[in-house]
Structure 1
Amino acid sequence: MSRPINSILIPTDGSEGALAGAKRAIALASWTGADIHVLSVVAVRSDLESIMDTTDSIYASLEDEAEDAVEAVADMARAHDDALEVTTTVTRGTPFQSIRAYATRREIDVIAMGTKGRDGLDRVLLGSVTENVLRTARTPVLAVPPSTDASNIDDIVFNEFLLPTDGSDGAAVATDWGITLASRLEAMIHTVYAIETGRISQAKAPEELLGALEQRGEDAIEHIREQARDADVSSSGGIATGPAADVILTSASERDVDLIVMGTHGRTGIGQWFLGSVTENVVREADVPVFCVPVSAESP
């Protein structure tokens, strides 16, 4: 099987949250042999532009800090694995737009970033930046919460994945990525299909609808099992009832997974879930990294 990831972009603002994302990204790059690009964006601010006599010195100071931030991640990567190719860049602009543009221009395969960072006049609030990148990027985004920080990159593992599905095209693209990654990393996948019973109780013929949704769930899970078997990846799966985000978070905790892999868009309608909003809720609440795959992402 071909390598699914050739390049990983790590945006950083030098914060602990950004370093949590960088450590997971470096571990993933080492496992997959991907090149690493480290980017720090100095936000252009209109309030600074009005202070013409101090603008240059302020931006120069911010760019010096940004250089320190990217070099810290680069040094970390090289110390962990001296075979990794690392490129560093500092630029000015609107952070999420600059990140997305860099990823497009350099044909980056995965953007890996923390979900929380610094704020204030001279900092990038990496949390809001991550959300904007998630909503607009055309490549997968590995969103890493600060609670997953590890003191040693060598301790980071990718042994078990949770792969939620709703049977949609968006979930199918995420499944392709999840199984390919699991094969590459020799990981096991667990899949879950959520049925929101609150909506069913308001519908006509709820028992008939529940049966149809359960069958749809079984079909979606079996399809993933077949793909996993073809890729020689161990898998398990099941149906659960409740709000989709709650089901995913509970499943991730019970299975003690290392990574959640899910699409950013899915189904809507009675008994189905809109994977976009669900993904955002999971990213905000998860204690483990979430590998978010947009429908527009090319299959690995």
Structure 2
Amino acid sequence: MKKILVPTDFSDHAFNAVKAAASIARKTNAELLLLHIIELPQEAMDAIKPGHDIPEIMFFKQWAEKRLSETSLSPELNGLNVSQILLLGRTVNKVAEAAADNNVDLIVMGSHGASGFKELFVGSNTEKVVRHSDVPVLVIKNEETEIKMERVVFASDFIVENKASFVNALNFFRTSNVKPHFLMVNTPNNFKPTHVAEKFVADLLKEFDMTEYEFSIYNDLDIEKGILNFSERVNADLIAMGTHGRKGISKFLNGSISEDLVNHSSRSLLTFKI
């Protein structure tokens, strides 16, 4: 891992993400990129002409630059390679732009946990960043600042439409020395016998040359409850899942389940584009 991007609005929850990203950067010798986005209403964006400085925007720009500098000089970041990025625009677009322009390996964001994202990303911005990011997104819950990856539950239906992208998730586990615990949730409406599921997953992972892993099948009333209850049972450090962009969180997670998991889980989450 070479670069970690951390969007921040300078709230306490955003700073928890900064500290968590710093702990990962120390272990991987990665560069930390602090990103702040000055988001304006569309009408204000349309009114801005190239070469013209609006006093109000300049005030926020100077304030943001000062806060970015203060954050980068925090004791928690001592000894790390830290860069600062300040952008003007819509949050979702600019996070993706910053990630692409700087070739980042991971995006780390902060959240309130069960109450959802309220300070760093408001409303649909959260799900859009998670759904559309082409790089993994780590969502830090509550005040968790030291991320462990000893027990990572990767929930999936293992129906992989784009196998090359699935390899990216597995490569992330390998480079991070993670032995994933793969999870398939059985529900009354989508039930697979244990022996069928075990053979299917074993054959699939063998194709990807994945040998160091655990696999479990968990029966529950719905996918979200199954993931949360199983993760609680094994005391998971992290929940990982795949996203299909505009299609939501994987093929097996439909409708609002993706949002519910992000908002309701007390554990941090790691999402991959598949």
Q: What is the Cα deviation at residue 88 of structure 1?
A: 0.4
Q: Which runs of 5+ in 2 are unaligned?
A: 112-116
CA contact (8 A) 1:163 1:190 kept: yes
Counterpart of 1:27?
23
Q: C-alpha separation between the residues in 1 aligned to 2:266 and 2:56?
A: 36
Structure 1 pair 110–80 and aligned structure 2 pair: CA distance change class (3 A): same
When the two structures are aligned, how many residues end up with a matched partner? 261
Give secondary structure in 2 for the equivalent of 1:169: coil
Aligned pairs for 1:1-300 within 5 A:
5-46=1-42, 56-76=54-74, 79-80=76-77, 82=79, 84-115=80-111, 116-118=117-119, 125-126=121-122, 128-145=124-141, 147=142, 149-150=143-144, 153=145, 155-169=146-160, 176-177=167-168, 179-197=170-188, 199=189, 210=191, 212=192, 214-223=194-203, 226=206, 233-265=212-244, 273-274=252-253, 277-295=256-274
Q: What is the Cα deviation at residue 265 of structure 1?
A: 3.0
The amino acid across from 2:260 in the alignment is N
The amino acid across from 2:231 in the alignment is A
CA contact (8 A) 1:8 1:36 kept: yes
Q: What is the Cα deviation at residue 251 of structure 1?
A: 1.4
Q: What is the Cα deviation at residue 249 of structure 1?
A: 1.0
CA contact (8 A) 1:12 1:69 kept: no
Counterpart of 1:121?
none
The amino acid across from 2:10 in the alignment is G
Structure 1 pair 191–49 and aligned structure 2 pair: CA distance change class (3 A): closer
CA contact (8 A) 1:263 1:276 kept: no
Q: C-alpha separation between the residues in 1 aligned to 2:68 and 2:59?
A: 15
Q: Which has the higher helix share?
A: 1
The 10-residue stretch of structure 1 (248-257 or 20-29) with the greater mean CA deviation from structure 2: 20-29
Structure 1 pair 40–51 and aligned structure 2 pair: CA distance change class (3 A): same
CA RMSD of aligned residues (A): 3.4
Residue by residue over 1:101-159, the C-alpha shift from the partner in whole angstroms, topping out at 9 and shown as x without a partner, is: 111122222221123343xxxxx6456432221232222211223x2x14xx5x44222
The normalised TM-score by structure 1 is 0.73
Structure 1 pair 171–163 and aligned structure 2 pair: CA distance change class (3 A): farther
The normalised TM-score by structure 2 is 0.79
Structure 1 pair 171–213 and aligned structure 2 pair: CA distance change class (3 A): farther
Structure 1 pair 125–234 and aligned structure 2 pair: CA distance change class (3 A): closer
Q: What is the Cα deviation at residue 248 of structure 1?
A: 0.7
Give secondary structure in 1 for the equivalent of 2:236: coil
Q: Which runs of 5+ in 1 are unaligned?
A: 119-123, 201-209, 296-300
The amino acid across from 1:162 in the alignment is V
Q: C-alpha separation between the residues in 2 aligned to 1:275 and 1:265?
A: 11
The amino acid across from 2:55 in the alignment is S
CA contact (8 A) 1:179 1:233 kept: no
Give secondary structure in 1 for the equivalent of 2:104: coil
| Percent sequence identity over aligned pairs | 20
The amino acid across from 2:63 in the alignment is E
Structure 1 pair 290–171 and aligned structure 2 pair: CA distance change class (3 A): farther
Give secondary structure in 2 for the equivalent of 1:24: helix
